[in-house]
């Protein structure tokens, strides 16, 4: 199967490094903003639970709502990106985050938090189809592995920044000021992207006027697309446990302070970013030495699952568990660029936005399901079992990645 992206989008002549680097940097900035917004509410859950009398299931439902809207919108926004281009969709998404932060600074109860989750979920929806359409069209093929590495790395940096940013400003002032500051941050990002908007322009996929009504959905009949979807769903369920519940697990099992536990999540994301950086070189080396991208993913995810299972045993104690969680982030991060190369191999020509939108909506579904399932575990005090369950789900995602490899190799 020919899995190249839009055939005429990439210039025949070599692209200057500076041009590629600018495109990668701008898309990375946008992606970091998206991941920052995943945690727009979660780091302050303990405060909302205290001030508004909420349970773990209540706050878990907020994350579920965010990702249900994001996942549904992501699958649909892939069609929009293919129709109108990635740039206007990207600008609209960041504007949603800006409005969500302003609303968050004024909430007085659970209903207000629901509105924030909905706005942020709507803003998050288009990022992966928009980002990968820009990268696949605007970055030269020999630098695409490094582009995917930078894309994943900046996403992890966005995750790492959010807890430190929101909790830090809350400690210095209060949580309403933290959200006002987040709104200023989004405004600055939007300004930079608009200033450099020429680098974000993409070609629109040509429409075939004689196509049958269901031709644009033909890619959904490819089994490999759904294996990719399953991989994202399962691997993301594990990540959601770390992001949403790791601070509470560390606090309840080992008496770790809120600040230290929150910094552990940031450490997980930072180590994941380092892993992404290393993984970019692994992906590039693998391309030149005919390593299949799915094998790299299988090895890295298996290592992460084993580390997470070790955390669940309790053998490491508080400090050791915090270190092992950070190491889990590195292991999973190494597989990130190869994961994106794996999806690229499964993408039919001319359907970049649609395929990435559908496949990456599995990420949102995983984030939506995980807080409901593991939030119930947390409410029952099953803290170690929550970590063990997250490890088990990551093991199952390894099988899904192997399934992708069997269908693209």
Write the secondary structure of 294-339 as one string of H (helix), E (strand) and C (coil): HHHHHHHHHHHHHHHHHHHHCCCHHHHHHHHHHHHHHHHHHCHHHH
Q: For residues 323 and 406, give the distance between their C-alpha atoms in angstroms, rounded to a whole number.
A: 35
Q: When comparing pLDDT for 172 and 263, which is higher?
A: 172
> What number of other Cβ atoms are within 10 A of residue 135's Cβ?
27
Highest mean pLDDT among 62-71, 332-341, 362-371, 378-387: 378-387
pLDDT grade for 2, boundaries at 50, 70 and 90: very low
pLDDT per residue as tens digits for the range 276-328? 888 888 877 766 666 778 788 899 999 999 999 999 998 998 899 999 999 99
pLDDT number for residue 205: 62
Q: What is the mean pLDDT of residues 327-356?
A: 79
* 86-100, 175-189, 259-273, 370-384: the lowest-pLDDT one: 259-273
Whether residue 35 contacts residue 155, with contact meaning beta carbons closer than 8 Å, is answered with yes
pLDDT number for residue 394: 95
pLDDT grade for 4, boundaries at 50, 70 and 90: very low
Domains and CATH numbers, the chain: 17-202+219-408 (1.20.1250.20)
Q: What is the mean pLDDT of residues 13-41?
A: 89
pLDDT per residue as tens digits for the range 222-231? 788 888 888 9
pLDDT number for residue 1: 38
* Residue for token pair 């600040």: 259
pLDDT number for residue 210: 45
pLDDT number for residue 11: 44
Q: When comparing pLDDT for 112 and 290, which is higher?
A: 112
Q: How many residues does the chain have?
A: 409
Highest mean pLDDT among 51-60, 357-366, 391-400: 391-400
**Average model confidence (pLDDT) for the chain?**
85
CA 53 to chain centre: 29
Q: Is the pLDDT of residue 5 over 50?
A: no
Closest residue by Cα to residue 43 from 135, 175, 154, 138: 175
Q: How far is CA 390 from CA 64, 67, 234, 299, 310, in A?
A: 17, 18, 9, 17, 12
pLDDT number for residue 48: 92
Give this prediction's pTM. 0.74
> What number of other Cβ atoms are within 10 A of residue 115's Cβ?
16
Q: When comparing pLDDT for 12 and 271, which is higher?
A: 271
Percent of the chain at pLDDT above 70?
A: 89
């Amino acid at each position: 199967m020919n899995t190249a992206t839009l055939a005429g989008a990439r210039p025949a002549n070599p692209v200057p490094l500076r041009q590629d680097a600018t495109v990668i940097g701008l898309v990375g900035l946008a992606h970091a903003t998206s991941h920052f917004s995943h945690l727009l509410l979660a780091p302050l859950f303990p405060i909302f639970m205290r001030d508004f009398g909420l349970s773990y299931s209540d706050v878990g439902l907020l994350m579920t709502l965010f990702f249900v809207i994001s996942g549904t919108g992501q699958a649909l926004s892939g069609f929009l990106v293919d129709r109108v281009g990635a740039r206007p969709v990207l600008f609209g998404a960041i504007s949603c985050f800006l409005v969500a932060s302003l609303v968050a600074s004024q909430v007085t109860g659970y209903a207000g938090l629901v509105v924030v989750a909905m706005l942020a979920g709507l803003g998050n929806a288009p990022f992966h189809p928009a980002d990968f359409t820009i990268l696949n069209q605007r970055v030269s093929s020999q630098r695409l592995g490094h582009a995917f590495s930078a894309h994943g790395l900046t996403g992890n940096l966005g995750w790492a920044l959010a807890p430190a940013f929101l909790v830090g400003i809350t400690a210095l002032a209060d949580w309403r000021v933290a959200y006002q500051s987040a709104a200023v941050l989004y405004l600055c990002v939007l300004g930079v992207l608009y200033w450099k908007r020429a680098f974000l322009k993409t070609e629109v996929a040509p429409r075939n006027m004689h196509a049958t009504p269901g031709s644009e959905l033909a890619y959904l009949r490819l089994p490999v697309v759904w294996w990719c979807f399953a991989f994202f769903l399962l691997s993301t369920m594990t990540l959601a446990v770390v992001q949403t519940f790791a601070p509470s697990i560390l606090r309840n099992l080992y008496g770790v302070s809120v600040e230290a536990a929150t910094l552990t999540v940031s450490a997980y994301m930072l180590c994941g970013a380092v892993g992404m950086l290393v993984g970019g070189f692994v992906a590039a080396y693998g391309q030149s030495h005919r390593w299949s991208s799915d094998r790299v993913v299988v090895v890295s995810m298996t290592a992460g699952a084993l580390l997470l299972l070790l955390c669940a045993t309790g053998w490491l104690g508080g400090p050791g568990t915090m270190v092992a969680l950070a190491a889990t982030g590195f292991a999973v991060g190494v597989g990130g660029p190869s994961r994106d190369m794996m999806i690229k191999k499964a993408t039919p020509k001319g359907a970049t936005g649609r395929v990435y939108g559908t496949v990456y909506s599995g990420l949102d579904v995983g984030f939506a399901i995980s807080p409901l399932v593991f939030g119930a575990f947390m409410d029952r005090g099953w803290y170690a079992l929550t970590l063990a369950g997250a490890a088990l789900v990551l093991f199952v995602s390894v099988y899904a990645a192997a399934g992708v490899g069997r269908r693209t190799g």
